[in-house]
Structure 1
Amino acid sequence: MIPMGPKTCIGTTDTRVESPTREVTPEDRAMVLDNINKRLKLARPLTTADIIAERCGVRPLVVSGSSQKGADWFRLSRKHAVECDADARHISIFGGKLTDCLNVGEEVAALMPGLGVALPYPALKWYGEAPDGVRDEYFHQARRMDLDAMTAPSASEKLSTRLWRRYGTAALAMLEAIRADPKMAELLIENAEYIRAEIEQAARREMITKLDDFLRRRSKIALVVRRDALERSPGLREACAILFGDAGEARLNEYFSPAAEAPAAD
């Protein structure tokens, strides 16, 4: 069980498949619900009616040669492998997961010079929290403007903590935007926790071209808010105007068109 704001992500299944193109099956749902209901003491067991959204994907497992073709796949390593074809200038990544992504990135970066791609700052630490001085200055400014008093009642954490946790040093510019216009601290979509300043930030930096990309991948809003609730949300229309400008209405209609009703696989 993984907390996702006011909701919870539950999973996962572990089913061997022959094709990378998959959809959630009734058996998948039953397995997840049966397992979680055995482990939670709820007044009413969870059912399919409690499912807000689903995500489905396939993770390849790395094997060497053909010696393990018939092996017990439960015993196969979940580690990743990176292969480089220098002649084709092509890198392939097999396996890998979120908890190992930094190691994967470092391996790929180490291969890039051999492919003729120069990394400008190869030793620069590009991930992790900013220095303590920057963090302290951020929280000092947040306290001076009483940012946490602007936190919506439905939010799962204080606004100052959320912005720093998600955006790091970029949160300082968001403080300035909120100081100039307090409406930037207001929620746009109920139960989604995203404030107007965050939508503005996404519009500037995320290069989002479709609403589905924003709702399911960049923000996970579609995984914690039901589709019918999103469709009724007046704030989503404003978010589209911020993200897509004059094309906002078209992107909104595209997302809720009948052809897009089936959830996308992640």
Structure 2
Amino acid sequence: QGLIGERGQFHVRASKGIHLVVPKDRIHSSTGLILRTEKSVLFVIPWGRHWIIGTTDTDWDLDKAHPAASSADIDYLLQHVNSVLNTPLTRDDVQGVYAGLRPLLAGESDATSKLSREHTVAHPAPGLVVVAGGKYTTYRVMAKDAVDEAVHGLDQRVAACVTEDTPLLGAEGYKALWNARARIAARTGLHVARVEHLLNRYGSMTEEILELILADPTLGEPLPAADDYLRAEIVYAASHEGARHLDDVLTRRTRISIETFDRGTRSARLCAELMAPVLGWDEGRIDREVQHYEKRVEAERESQRQPDDLTADAARLGAPDIVPI
């Protein structure tokens, strides 16, 4: 909006939401839960071998790159979920914690819970379309609305948007491969549960993972400290998915950082060694990547022991981002 030299029409405020990840056996239920609290919606969602419990909804005006979950945030979720559980959860049951920010369209309300969860689009000047608000899970709708607005300024007819019918990467042919999962398991020597895991993560691109394993059968082995994942998935993250740091793999290409009680620290060195041949790392670079990740985990753990946002933010910033050489 600043590009057109006018006062912006839209203003957004950041609202922090945190989530807890606990093992599936800690909650005895066959269905998810959605509850209302005094200031947010609480949900308990089955997710693979885990439950996700969320979320908080609090104003955040500190570091936007690394929103930090405080001890108060964690206590808030545990207190509310325990009000409906026969067997209460404790801090020891929490495997992972993650936090994110929602860009809410700012209004007259002081409470982020009363601000819009929707996105909006405007065309304030020829050639400039602005989209604000929204969230990660509605990115396709946001893109459609922004592009639809942009094509209004063209002097030609543009066909209707087809995003609803455009498959995601890996979706083409997924159902046929799912039907063939037992045959894929027999052909590759992997357990059918492993094949299902790969198909659910990569869809039809699973064949690229299987090619890595065919070339190096050791990549078909699971990670010892995160055995949901095969070693090939770590290599694939570096060779096909643009991962450039160990942090990328453990926190984004996989979910090892929130699916294991050690937060991925026990897997860090092996994963760095698997990435090293792909990215040309020497021993010094491997050590540096592992040390950075360990510092990140410790900073996050420390932030989650702090009583409020200010102290949690300061603790999280104790681990600076890794700088490429």
- Scaled to the shorter chain, the TM-score interval is 0.7 to 0.9
Counterpart residue number, 2:91: 48
| Structure 2: stretches of 5+ with no match in the other structure | 1-43, 155-160, 301-315, 318-325
Contact 1:192/1:225, CA 8 A, preserved across alignment: no
Deviations 1:227-254 (A, max 9, x none): 4762466533433425643133321222
Q: Does the 8 Å CA contact 1:139/1:160 hold for their aligned counterparts?
A: no
> How far does the alpha carbon of each residue in 1:79-115 deviate from its partner, in whole angstroms, 9 at most, with x for none?
12234565685744323241x2221232344456689
Deviations 1:98-137 (A, max 9, x none): 1x22212323444566899xxxxx85724276345x6425
Match for residue 130 of structure 1?
Answer: 171
Report the equivalent of 1:249.
287
Distance 2:134 2:181 in 1: 42
Report the secondary structure of 2:132's partner residue. strand
Q: 1:30 aligns with which of 27, 51, 75?
A: 75
More strand by share: 2
Structure-2 residue corresponding to 1:2: 45
Find out whether 1:69 has 2:108 as its counterpart: yes
Change (3 A) 1:59 1:146: same
Matching residue's letter, 2:144? E
Tell me whether 1:215 sits opposite 2:250 in the alignment: yes
Alignment map for 1:115-264 (pairs within 5 Å): 123=162, 125-127=166-168, 130-131=171-172, 135-137=175-177, 139-140=179-180, 143-146=183-186, 150-151=190-191, 158-227=193-262, 230-231=265-266, 235-241=270-276, 244-246=279-281, 247-257=285-295, 261-263=298-300
Inter-CA distance 144–40: structure 2 relative to 1 (3 Å threshold): same
The answer to whether the 8 A contact 2:234-2:249 is kept is no
Secondary structure at the aligned position of 1:223 is classed as: helix
Q: Cα deviations across residues 132-154 of structure 1 (Å, max 9, x unaligned)?
A: 5x642565375155269634xxx
Query: What corresponds to 1:94 in structure 2?
Result: 133
After TM superposition, the structure 1 stretch with the greater mean CA deviation from structure 2, 174-183 or 140-149, is: 140-149
2:84 alignment counterpart: 39
Q: Give distance in 1, aligned partners of 2:146 and 2:201.
A: 25
CA contact (8 A) 2:188 2:210 kept: no
SS where residue 228 of structure 2 aligns? coil
Distance 1:260 1:178, change over 3 A: closer
Per-residue deviation, 1:16: 3.7
Q: Any idea what SS the aligned residue of 1:2 has?
A: strand
Structure 1: 5+ residue stretches without partners: 117-121, 152-156
C-alpha distance in structure 1 between counterparts of 2:228 and 2:254, whole Å: 10
Moved more, 9-18 or 23-32: 9-18
Alpha-carbon shift at residue 69 of structure 1 (Å): 0.7
TM-aligned CA distance change 1:230 to 1:71, over 3 Å: closer
User: What's the offset of the Cα at 1:260?
Assistant: 6.3
* Structure 2 equivalent of residue 78 of structure 1: 117
When residues 176 and 145 of structure 1 are mapped into structure 2, their CA distance, relative to the original with a 3 A threshold, is farther
Matched residue pairs, number? Answer: 246
Q: 1:236 to 1:127 in 2, by over 3 A?
A: closer
| Matched-pair identity in % | 26
TM-score w.r.t. the length of structure 2 is 0.61
Alignment RMSD, CA only? Answer: 3.6
